[in-house]
A and B are shown apart, each in its own frame.
Chain A
Amino acid sequence: GQNIDQPTEMTATEGAIVQINCTYQTSGFNGLFWYQQHAGEAPTFLSYNVLDGLEEKGRFSSFLSRSKGYSYLLLKELQMKDSASYLCAVSSNAGNNRKLIWGLGTSLAVNP
C-alpha cells in the first residue's frame, strides 16, 4: 500500500532550527513535495526533490533519500510566521496518471 508518516506536532523557539521528518512507502515514486499551510489558507509550495540529496532555498532546505524512503524539511532562523502545518506529499505514478499522496501534516508552533 501507499503510506506517508510525519510527526503530528512539533514546537520550536524563534530563531532556532527545526527538522520535520517524513517517511514514505509508495509505488511509482516520482518525487516528493513539501507544502506549508496556514490555518484556513491554501497549501503553498515549498520544495520538490526527485534525486537524492539536499536542496536549499533560503531559510528552508529539503533532503531526500530514495533508498531509505525518507525526507526532511529543515527550517532555519525560525520566525513566528513559520507557525503552520507542513505537509509532505509524494508524487506517485498510477497507470498513465500521476497523483500526490499526502501525509497528515505536521503542525509546527514557533514560540517567542
Chain B
Amino acid sequence: DTEVTQTPKHLVMGMTNKKSLKCEQHMGHRAMYWYKQKAKKPPELMFVYSYEKLSINESVPSRFSPECPNSSLLNLHLHALQPEDSALYLCASSSRSTGAQNTEAFFGQGTRLTVV
C-alpha cells in the first residue's frame, strides 16, 4: 500500500462551522505533513509531525488545529475559517523528517476546501 488517503475530497463550510480533515497512511512512515495550496502556486507547508509529535508549525493561525492520534492518522481541525482559507489541503508522509536523506514524500489527493 503506497497510498496516502484523504477525506473528504471536497468540503464546503461556513465561517462559523467546525469541521475536520482526515489523512491516513499505512506505509509505516513516521513523518506526516499538512500543506495548503492555492491555484497556480506551490504547496505551502503548514505543519510537520515526526513520530507523532508536532515538530514544525509554520506560524499557522490557531483556527487550524492539527492532531496526530497515532502513527497512521493525521487530522486537521478547522474552526472559524475565513473565505481566504479556501484552498486545496494536502497531506503527505515520508519515511523520515530528520537525519538521513531520500525522504520521498507521498501526497494524498487533497481536500478541496471552500469557505463561504
Contact = CB atoms under 8 A, between A and B. Distances in A.
Contacts, number: 59
Interface stretch (A17-25, A43-51, A59-67): A43-51
Contacts of B106: 45
Nearest to B102: A48
Contacts of A102: 42-44
Given A42-B90, A44-B107, A99 B56 contact: yes
Nearest to A99: B45
Nearest to A50: B101
Nearest to B100: A30
B48 interface: yes
B97 A100 contact: no
Interface of B is mostly: loop
B62 interface: no
Interface in B18-69: 40-45, 48, 50, 55-56
Interface in B83-116: 88, 90, 96-98, 101-110, 112
Contacts of B112: 40
A23 to B, nearest CB: 16
Contacts of B45: 99-100
8 A-B pairs with least C-beta separation:
A102-B42, A42-B107, A42-B109, A42-B110, A50-B101, A43-B107, A97-B55, A31-B101
Interface of A: 30-31, 33, 40-45, 48, 50, 85, 87, 89, 91, 94, 96-100, 102-105, 107
25 contacts: A30-B101, A33-B104, A41-B109, A42-B107, A42-B110, A43-B90, A43-B107, A45-B104, A45-B106, A91-B103, A94-B56, A96-B98, A97-B48, A97-B50, A97-B55, A97-B56, A97-B97, A98-B97, A99-B97, A100-B45, A102-B44, A103-B42, A104-B41, A104-B42, A105-B41
